[in-house]
Structure 1
Amino acid sequence: MVFWIILPITLSAVSLIGSWTVYGLALQHNHVCSLSNWEYRNSCQANESGTCCTIRNVPTISSSGSCAPENSLFSATINAGSFLFLVFCIFHHAHILDRNSVHGFLSKAALAFGCVASFGAFIAGNCNPVEVALLHYLGAAVSFVCICFYCTLLTALTSKCILSGLENFLYPARIVSTCIQVTVTVIYCIFFAQTDSYYKHMSAVFEWMLSVNLELFELSFFAEFYYFSSSMLSTLLSRRDEEKPLILS
């Protein structure tokens, strides 16, 4: 049913528009430096203009949403994105069970990683990195890692399940997207752990790349959701005959 393509499109749009709007607000209020800025100082004078950048102003996604007024929009965006992503994971799993139940185990594993990633993002979005840094970064780390596994499993399912008839095009595209997600996540983590401002800024650039890449990956599932039907959700509520326990009388 064509109606269901709204889900992946909305998920991508909310994440993309929301996160970049937060960054724009943070940049406007001089809470972060521009992604195009590579010059940092150890300290800034109190009466100096907003163009002065220190290690505290690195434009990561988290730091962009750490101060008022953009922190409210940041939390709202993450909450909406987490919820939509959770729904996306559940609905895609229902589609697999209905059309290719033989790959149900692989789909369940993907669903598990997707749910954990959604929960991790929810924690990160509602724990300010300035005030509750440990929970924020723990949630973000869990989300980043689980997203890599989720993308990998969904890409594998693309090669095994015929859901849209466009798998010959979607599979190689998702392989590229997944490789980017995994590789850039590793590089991002390495740079984020450094103390030098140059590497910190590099980590911010890679983090935004991860965000955009994931949104494009999610958007590609409009092809599968074009053929999704609400009746497929019933597969999550009913147990198939072969899964029912044998009752000996």
Structure 2
Amino acid sequence: MAFWIFLPITLSAVSLIGCWTVYGLALRFNHICSLRNWEYSNSCLTNKTVTGGCCTEYNIPTISGSGTQFPENSLFSATINAASFLFVIFSIFHYAHILKKCTVHRFFSKSAMVFGCLAGVGAFVAGNCNPGELMFLHYLGSALSFVCICFYTVLLTFLTSTCILTGLERFLYPVRIVFSIVQVTLTILYCIFFTQKDFYYRHISAIFEWTLSMNLELFELSYAVEFYFFSSSMLSVLLSNRDEENTMILS
């Protein structure tokens, strides 16, 4: 049913609109620097706020940094919660689609689902643990999400080349290869630059983070093609697969 096409579209839209709205609010209330502002100084401000062209280490425009302070932190948590839930549903439903249409590589498809669910859980933890108050949990959730998303995109790209779900895999596969390479490469660069003390490099890491978000949203959006051919009857495969596993355990 074509109705299911709205799942990846909604997932991408919630992430895109929600995160950039949070960024706009944070910028409006002078809680973060603009992504276009490269002027940083430790001594220009004493109250840790942004005015004019002056920025400090507390105002680097990361995604989570945009949602740290009130009032935009409430919208940030709501956006991450909704996106995390939809991402987990997306991962499970796509796994059901693969089980129904593709009998090979079940290990890789199940691994992809697990990584997808873990990525959603990590994002949920990061979105609900304010970095200003629960920094360790926030960074732990973020790290889990970033790493699992890399494995998830790579595994789904591999499955695109081996499982025929739509008949359009010859067009989708090269596109998803690009998305996967960008996701993995920028994640590594993001981690390297984020750990630097120099504000210039940390600002670059913030740009990498926003680029990673956009890249993932486009990757998710490409699955509108698969979900066009998805039907609710495919979800029964999950139950039958569970029954088979239970039978094997009992025997």
Which amino acid in 2 is paired with 1:121? A
The alpha-carbon deviation at position 227 of structure 1 amounts to 0.2
- Tell me how far apart the structure 1 counterparts of residues 32 and 182 of structure 2 sit (CA, whole Å): 26
Farther-moved stretch of structure 1 (101-110 vs 29-38): 101-110
- Tell me how far apart the structure 1 counterparts of residues 17 and 250 of structure 2 sit (CA, whole Å): 54
Please name the residue that 1:102 is paired with: 104
SS in 2 for 1:101: coil
Structure 1 segment 1-249 matched on structure 2, within 5 A:
1-45=1-45, 50-51=51-52, 52-239=54-241, 244-245=247-248
TM-score (norm 1): 0.96
Deviations 1:11-34 (A, max 9, x none): 000000000000000000000000
- Tell me how far apart the structure 1 counterparts of residues 84 and 249 of structure 2 sit (CA, whole Å): 39
Q: Is the 8 Å Cα contact of residues 32 and 50 (structure 2) preserved in structure 1?
A: no
Judging changes above 3 Å, is the alpha-carbon distance between structure 1 residues 227 and 31 closer, same or farther for their aligned structure 2 residues?
same
TM-score (norm 2): 0.95
Which amino acid in 2 is paired with 1:182? V
Farther-moved stretch of structure 1 (48-57 vs 80-89): 48-57
- Tell me how far apart the structure 2 counterparts of residues 40 and 97 of structure 1 sit (CA, whole Å): 52
Any stretches of 5+ residues in structure 2 without a counterpart? none
The alpha-carbon deviation at position 105 of structure 1 amounts to 1.4
SS in 2 for 1:238: helix
The alpha-carbon deviation at position 103 of structure 1 amounts to 2.2
Any stretches of 5+ residues in structure 1 without a counterpart? none
User: For this pair of structures, how many residues does the alignment match?
Assistant: 248
% identity of equivalent residues = 69
- Tell me how far apart the structure 2 counterparts of residues 106 and 26 of structure 1 sit (CA, whole Å): 40
- Tell me how far apart the structure 1 counterparts of residues 98 and 175 of structure 2 sit (CA, whole Å): 20
